[in-house]
Amino acid sequence: MTTLDIHEILKQLPHRYPFLMVDRVLELEHGKRIKALKNVTANEPYFLGHFPRRPVMPGVMMIEALAQAAALLSFDAVGASPEENQIYYFAGIDAARFKRPVEPGDQLILDVTLDRMKSGVFKFTARATVGGELAVEAQLMCTVRRLD
């Protein structure tokens, strides 16, 4: 099992603050599964408007955190880092279900399994929990494209 700290994550993902959603990789099973952590803090910029009196992490940001963990898993599966002329895009989100609110102070545990990879298209089963309680689940698909 491999782990990654923030410095190693920054070498893999093109995202930066305020859009980087993975703080640490807790477990990485080569080409199969990743377990990562997103510390949800009161300083997140989206909490200013979502919602000022009762801050809740937007569902789209939870899905983005899962997608970034999935990207790290896909790089591991193909045994390569992203090249400067490549980018990984979302290709689909299916069966997304939100089960509990995520609030400042929570630790979002991202658990993503690679179901299939073929011709540059990756399919994943993704779940995020807080304190062992399911917060969101979805089927994700991404693809790699060359930039011209």
Residues serving a catalytic function are: 50
Radius of gyration of the chain measured on its C-alpha atoms: 15
Residues near 134 by beta carbon (within 8 Å), at least 6 away in sequence: 99, 100, 127, 128
DSSP structure string for 71-114 = HHHHHHHHT-PPPTTEEEEEEEEEEEEE-S---TT-EEEEEEEE
Angular region, 131: left φ>0, alpha ψ -120 to 50, beta rest? left
